[in-house]
Chains A and B, each alone.
Chain A
Amino acid sequence: MSEPKKVDRRKFIYAGLGAVALIAIGAAAYVAMNPPVVTQTVTTSTTVPTTSVVTTTVPTTTVVTTTVPTTSTPSEKVEITFMDWTLTEIPFKYTAIKMFEESHPNIKIKPIETPYEGYFDKLVTQHVAGSPPDVFALIPEENWKLAEAGVQYPLDDFIRAEGPKFKEQFVKAAWDMGVWKGQVMNLPWRFGCSCFFLNKKVFRDAGVAIPTKLESWEQIRELAIEIKKNSPPEVYGIGFPGSKTDLGTSWFWYAFLFQNGAELIREDGTVGFNTPEGIESLQFLVDLLRKDKVVPPEVTAYGDNEIKDAFGMGRIAMWHNGPWMIIGILSAHPECEIEVRLMPTRKRDGSPAGGTQYAMSPMCKHKNEAWEFIKFMTSYPIISVMAKDGIYVPPRYDVMEDSYFHIPPISVFIEQAKLPGTHVIGNYPEFMVISDYIQTAQQQAYLGQKTVKEALAWAEEQCNKVLAPHYKK
């Protein structure tokens, strides 16, 4: 008798529960699907970090006016999605986007901000799911992998349409960052190679004169020993990273590898670091660490970020890295006095180089418009502002002509970039995988678990196994 009533009550209350759940979900959905209108507050002047750099003057705001011819009769509005992790670091990019939209009224750019942490995972995920961004930024270390996976669309046709002079505007090494199997997959907008940073204060306190030029590896070693001798115990002559947390560990070594005449990966796809020259170059670092003890001993605890802080705090006298680190050091340690020097030479000059590029997705529905955008963002006016603000080597020769780039420290980097021994590292197949092996080998050598010879032999074996399928004829 009470059974039917119970069932009815139960059903009713269950419906009520369901309604509550639906309302909760619906409310959340309403809020979520109606995000407030995106209004970008675009600043028309760039904000440059106020640095008290002794050896260089950073120009303040640079407002650029371009006379880009407007396209012909605007057709329907086309939307291009643009993903870049530097949108927050470089507010000028929003200005650039606005400038582009003004000169191309039928194109609307939709910027997607994603932090660098996990950027490429997101890119790959979006590509696999079929909705990648139309234009996106990438680094040469990811170039091969993304090109082979079909995430990038070759730009050769567009470049050919621009005429033969187009390619010549770009610095060759920078251009090569985007080459994959003979095809050009992206255009560079940021470029830089490695030069030595010297901490003036540490040199001064140790009573060691800063050399005008770094002649040889021996000189570096002697400077480091001299500084260590005359400095408090926590200060070291030279510092380099040894942890796996970024590519800095191998970046540091590659400079010496190239200077000794060895190669990272040969034309035939075998690795070139397991040669006497390669072994010697790594041995140099291992000796600095273990024999001369002029390097902070817990090398495997340091990544590039920690070395940058140690350098800025005056714990290390010498380091080498790219020009992008200058702002990194100065923003965390405004009183640091940096002196930049060209790389030493041994058998020849050598310096690792890298940068950042823009590419287009094959799933982009408006490839011509995307190409216009990429072309614009790597054009003279945009690059000249960004290279000055960010302090890096512009990938274009015409921007390099600017007098700003004739002042140290950036002039040193540019000089280094023009040398033949400056290689872009990273544009190789499975680069992250072989980097893992290389860094493991380095760590084993640094920690004394294996000799340099053994470690590199092991790394060579692993890397060649991974590389072989990519170079099969």
Chain B
Amino acid sequence: MKPKIKGQNVGYIFISPLIIYLFSLSIYPMIRVLYMSFFSVQPTLHAGEIFIGFENYIKVFNDPLFYISLQNTIIFVAGSVFFHLLLGLFLALLINKLTHNLFKNVCRTIILIPIAITPVAVAWMWKMIYHPAFSFVPLIFNALNLDITWALLAYPETALTAVTITNIWHATPYYMLYWLAALQSISPEIYEASEVDGANMQQRFRYITLPQLKIFFIFFACWDIINTFMYWDLVWVMTRGGPGYSTEILATYIYKQAFQALNFGYASALGSVGFLVMATVSSVLIYMMRERG
């Protein structure tokens, strides 16, 4: 069957409800944020919006705190995404392998519990887990006669890692869920055929599972990067960017500029630069996705 151009354009009809809904609600706010980045919004929020062109952006690129927060954000995102995807896949594969249904269901449900808890509660819970006086961890260390100080959020060296670990704990079950669903998309007949052909587990994984998962992998990576990049709740509650600026990520810096300094112009500029970074990364990933699809 020759694909007629007219036939392909039918696709527009299918995608239009979603596109119309999404764009009608999100275009104006995004443009407004971009628009505000070219102004110096004085503290009197209604009066005194002075057009200053690219001055905010020049300020951004000269701001040492911008670079610090960008660096912290990249570490936070890279650490989170890496473990979300790989650990999530690993857990999904493990769970998939199990045949005892009760055990499988119980484990799967238990691992999924963290995502049911609201981020604010997760942040406070982990804040206490990292705390020297209130956590059960020092007790374990004492029992094992280890003399390690356990105050991960107190020291600039460990604070960012600690927050990243919390994010990993909180969101990896999501990715286990997604991978479980993605794994279902692989036809079992190909597995059976390869088993007949004598392939062992590693070979099956490498030559059958992996290629089919590549698209999902790219999408999940893209999605996770975009969502974690501006993820504010966890870090804000746990450390507010401290100690010092060791956990100051772009999201907390933008928040401080917007709502503490009431510097909406500058905050918008920061947000726009962050947006550009992410847009670049995701375009690359999506075009990679297209080639494989």
Among residues of A, the one whose C-beta sits closest to the C-beta of B128 is A306
Complex CA–CA separation, A315 to B47 (angstroms): 52
Provide 17 A-B residue pairs closer than 8 Å at the C-beta atoms, listed in order of the A residue: A148-B44, A149-B44, A234-B133, A243-B154, A243-B242, A245-B237, A245-B240, A245-B242, A298-B149, A300-B155, A306-B131, A306-B133, A315-B133, A433-B261, A436-B256, A443-B242, A449-B244
User: In the assembled complex, which residues on chain B have CB atoms less than 8 Å from the CB atom of A301?
Assistant: 130-132, 151, 153-154
Q: Give B residues with C-beta under 8 Å from A.
A: 13, 17, 43-47, 120, 130-134, 149, 151, 153-156, 237, 239-245, 256, 259-262
Complex CA–CA separation, A313 to B133 (angstroms): 10
In the complex, the answer to whether A432 meets B261 with C-beta atoms within 8 Å is yes
A190 within 8 A of B: no
A309 within 8 A of B: yes
User: In the assembled complex, which residues on chain B have CB atoms less than 8 Å from the CB atom of A306?
Assistant: 131, 133-134
DSSP majority for the B interface? loop
Contacts A117-B120, A124-B262, A301-B154: A14 and B13 contacting too (C-beta < 8 A)? yes
Beyond A242-B243, A298-B154, 15 additional pairs, beta carbon < 8 A: A124-B45, A127-B45, A149-B45, A150-B44, A243-B240, A243-B243, A300-B151, A300-B154, A301-B131, A301-B154, A302-B131, A315-B133, A432-B260, A440-B242, A443-B242
Complex CA–CA separation, A430 to B132 (angstroms): 33
User: In the assembled complex, which residues on chain A have CB atoms less than 8 Å from the CB atom of B47?
Assistant: 150
Complex CA–CA separation, A443 to B156 (angstroms): 10
A21 within 8 A of B: yes
A169 within 8 A of B: no
User: In the assembled complex, which residues on chain B have CB atoms less than 8 Å from the CB atom of A300?
Assistant: 151, 153-155, 242-243
User: In the assembled complex, which residues on chain A have CB atoms less than 8 Å from the CB atom of B130?
Assistant: 301
A284 within 8 A of B: no
In the complex, the answer to whether B133 meets A296 with C-beta atoms within 8 Å is yes
Among residues of A, the one whose C-beta sits closest to the C-beta of B245 is A440
Complex CA–CA separation, A254 to B284 (angstroms): 51
User: In the assembled complex, which residues on chain A have CB atoms less than 8 Å from the CB atom of B133?
Assistant: 234, 296, 306, 309-310, 313, 315
A18 within 8 A of B: yes
Complex CA–CA separation, A148 to B243 (angstroms): 30
A376 within 8 A of B: no
Complex CA–CA separation, A120 to B258 (angstroms): 12
Among residues of B, the one whose C-beta sits closest to the C-beta of A245 is B240
Among residues of A, the one whose C-beta sits closest to the C-beta of B259 is A121
A145 within 8 A of B: yes
Complex CA–CA separation, A242 to B244 (angstroms): 11
Complex CA–CA separation, A149 to B45 (angstroms): 6
Q: Which of A430-448 contact B (CB under 8 A)?
A: 430, 432-433, 436, 439-440, 443-444, 447
Q: Chain A's nearest CB lies how many Å from the CB of B246?
A: 10
User: In the assembled complex, which residues on chain B have CB atoms less than 8 Å from the CB atom of A149?
Assistant: 43-45, 262
Complex CA–CA separation, A14 to B16 (angstroms): 11
Among residues of B, the one whose C-beta sits closest to the C-beta of A123 is B259
Q: Chain A's nearest CB lies how many Å from the CB of B20?
A: 11
User: In the assembled complex, which residues on chain B have CB atoms less than 8 Å from the CB atom of A242?
Assistant: 154, 243
Among residues of B, the one whose C-beta sits closest to the C-beta of A362 is B46
Contacts A128-B45, A243-B153: A145 and B262 contacting too (C-beta < 8 A)? yes
User: In the assembled complex, which residues on chain A have CB atoms less than 8 Å from the CB atom of B13?
Assistant: 14
Complex CA–CA separation, A83 to B173 (angstroms): 38
Q: Chain A's nearest CB lies how many Å from the CB of B128?
A: 8
In the complex, the answer to whether A447 meets B155 with C-beta atoms within 8 Å is yes
User: In the assembled complex, which residues on chain A have CB atoms less than 8 Å from the CB atom of B43?
Assistant: 145, 148-149
Q: Which of A288-334 contact B (CB under 8 A)?
A: 296-302, 306, 309-310, 313, 315
User: In the assembled complex, which residues on chain A have CB atoms less than 8 Å from the CB atom of B256?
Assistant: 432-433, 436
User: In the assembled complex, which residues on chain A have CB atoms less than 8 Å from the CB atom of B156?
Assistant: 447, 449
Q: Chain B's nearest CB lies how many Å from the CB of A123?
A: 10
User: In the assembled complex, which residues on chain A have CB atoms less than 8 Å from the CB atom of B262?
Assistant: 124, 145, 149
In the complex, the answer to whether A21 meets B17 with C-beta atoms within 8 Å is yes
Q: Mark A408-440, 1 if CB is under 8 A from B, else 0.
A: 000000000000000000000010110010011
User: In the assembled complex, which residues on chain A have CB atoms less than 8 Å from the CB atom of B131?
Assistant: 301-302, 306
Complex CA–CA separation, A440 to B131 (angstroms): 20
